[in-house]
Amino acid sequence: MITGKFPNLRLRRNRKSDWSRRLVEENNLSPNDFILPIFLIDGKNSKQEIKSMPEVYRYTLDRLSFVVDKALRNGIPMIALFPHTKKNKKNLLGSEALNEDNLVCKAIQLIKKKYKNEIGIMCDVALDPYTSHGHDGLLKSGLILNDETIEVLINQSILQAQMGCDVLAPSDMMDGRILKIRKALDKENFKNVQILSYAAKYASSFYGPFRDAVGSQNSLKGDKKTYQMDFKNSDEALREVALDIKEGADMVMVKPGMPYLDIIRSIRETFKIPVFAYQVSGEYSLIANGIKKKLINDHAIYESLIAFKRAGANAIITYYADRIDKILI
């Protein structure tokens, strides 16, 4: 509520100088607000361009330290690992997800061996990088099997925890998976492994470049509307979050980010739990290509990121995190 009236009250007075604007700014960004996604590929000494995502690359494991070193120099607290799985390693069951020699497992071990606990590691818990049909769960007669998928996700979670993953991030949107994963982790004495639940993950058109990055774009059969949320709904997001908190989620995710700032705000105000936002690949590519074509200037990056903080996000997963030293100048 504004108390006072013009001309005694002139709101522009606080905006007159840079130093004054900085004193009264309500939100700001620091490196602590960011999580850096990293795409992994098989091979040696390779940094592979992702054409649909300007200035984003896939890295072989022997190039991983260059990316992590930079993240540490920039003060980034956590990285997130995503594999590009070869076609010959995919099948209907997503069996590669349970292979202790898969890209994610090897990357976790390499990072932990070199960096110990200097930086957090977040791992995606879902089957879509590994299934030949591109879905996040087991598929039978055109339907995603909820309970059967959870059993696989439990094993995937335990494996990643054994490798040294700090934060497990189930992005599959199966009902009831947080409780079962939490119980399994505790039983195996991984009580300190955190769960970041993709609690409000919408069936969105903004995921295309990511699917290209992990190699599932051309393999996806149908859509994911039976398990990811309808973008027309908001109350449903609060129900999803409430269930995941009750089941043991330590933090929750809203995905995509910018079209769902209202959801971030509602969750933060309702539950007072750490809320993370994912500035997804489609959001990133729209901004990056807009800048590349000089339709907008690069200040749009900072503006888009501060929007998440203004909405109430505690942290932001963004492909701009590797350039945060330049963005926050």
Confidence bin at 1 (pLDDT 50/70/90): low
Q: Looking at the 3D structure of the chain, how many domains does it have?
A: 1
Across-strand partners of 126?
A: none
pLDDT tens-digit readout, 289-324: 999 999 999 999 999 999 999 999 999 999 999 999
In a domain, 59, yes or no: yes
Q: Which residue has the tokens 């696989």?
A: 152
Is 323 inside any structural domain? yes
106 noted as active-site residue: no
- H/E element holding 278? strand 275-278
What would the pLDDT profile of 40-54 be if each residue is shown by its tens digit? Answer: 999 999 999 999 999
Alpha carbons 76 and 266: distance in angstroms, whole number: 27
**Marked catalytic residue, from 89, 106, 201, 224:** 201
Secondary structure of 171-195 as H, E, C letters: CCCCCCHHHHHHHHHHHCCCCCCEE
How far lies 137's CA from each of 95, 108, 130, in Å? Answer: 11, 23, 10
- Note whether residue 8 is domain-resident: no
Which range marks the domain in which residue 289 is found?
31-327
- Whether 201 sits among the annotated catalytic residues: the reply is yes
Is residue 26 in a domain?
A: no
CATH number at residue 145: 3.20.20.70
Distance CA 189, CA 11 (A): 56
In a domain, residue 54? The reply is yes
Closest CA to 83 of 33, 133, 48: 48
**Is residue 1 situated within a structural domain?**
no
Tell me if 171 is assigned to some domain: yes
CA dist., res. 121 & res. 35, Å (int): 9
